[in-house]
Chain A
């Protein structure tokens, strides 16, 4: 089964360093989402792509964050100049959107970031 995969699963970095996470969605899913989850909270939406187009960004996505999905397949999320407050689980999800039908999102296992 080729579900949503994320790499790496864990990342420890020092404050001020840049980090990049990768998400591989379910094949042929045209939508890809990024969420952030801190301890004890539900996931918070960051951004989503329809194919290669980034259609929405949350105000949580500061200018230190950038996401790409260059060929409409995998996506990367980069955090520049990491801060301790960036420590969280970063979740990726994908879905197949067809017309106006309701769609469920399928989540990956997440990348846990720890900023020291």
Chain B
């Protein structure tokens, strides 16, 4: 079973920030939080990962709570092309990812 829980779906207006939450209350000290997304009929695409500090790259920001029991992926200015299923995964060293059903994000014009 996946170690994370995510809302099944979310909507976001185009141009606004999309904030996708993830709960991982059983995360252990050596496990990282990874985010991937999957656009219809394509393979999952890596977005970002982090351990305990907030992280930012050209795609998104990752905010991890101090107790590490939850995190939020932020897409600062969502576009229609960001419509996808977003997966939050916890894993040590990136092995054998256990994917849950993810959050289906719909960016609306």
Identify the A interface with B (CB < 8 A).
4, 33, 35, 40-45, 48, 56, 91, 93, 95, 97, 100-110
Q: Which residue of B lies closest to A42 (CB)?
A: B99
Please determine whether A104 and B49 come into contact, CB atoms closer than 8 angstroms.
Answer: yes
Which residues from chain B contact A40 at a C-beta distance below 8 Å? 101
Q: Which residue of B lies closest to A48 (CB)?
A: B96
Listed from nearest, the 7 A-B pairs whose CB atoms lie closest are: A42-B99, A107-B43, A103-B94, A104-B46, A102-B32, A107-B44, A43-B99
Instruction: Tell me the number of A-to-B contacts counted with CB atoms below 8 Å.
Output: 56
Q: How far is the CA of A95 from the CA of B2 in the complex (A)?
A: 21
B interface SS class: loop
Q: How far is the CA of A41 from the CA of B38 in the complex (A)?
A: 11
CB contact between A102 and one of B36, B51, B101, B102 (< 8 Å): that residue: B51
- Which B residues from 69 to 109 make CB contacts under 8 A with A? 85, 87, 93-102
Given A105-B46, A110-B43, A42–B94 Cβ distance below 8 Å? Answer: no
Please determine whether A42 and B101 come into contact, CB atoms closer than 8 angstroms.
Answer: yes
Shortest beta-carbon distance, A56 to chain B, in Å? 6
Which residues from chain B contact A35 at a C-beta distance below 8 Å? 99
The yes or no answer to B9 lying at the interface (CB within 8 A) is no
Which residues from chain A contact B98 at a C-beta distance below 8 Å? 45
Please determine whether A42 and B2 come into contact, CB atoms closer than 8 angstroms.
Answer: yes
Please determine whether A109 and B42 come into contact, CB atoms closer than 8 angstroms.
Answer: yes
Shortest beta-carbon distance, B43 to chain A, in Å? 3
The yes or no answer to B45 lying at the interface (CB within 8 A) is yes
Please determine whether B97 and A43 come into contact, CB atoms closer than 8 angstroms.
Answer: yes
Please determine whether B93 and A100 come into contact, CB atoms closer than 8 angstroms.
Answer: yes
Please determine whether B93 and A97 come into contact, CB atoms closer than 8 angstroms.
Answer: yes
Please determine whether A56 and B96 come into contact, CB atoms closer than 8 angstroms.
Answer: yes
- Which B residues from 1 to 37 make CB contacts under 8 A with A? 2, 32, 34, 36
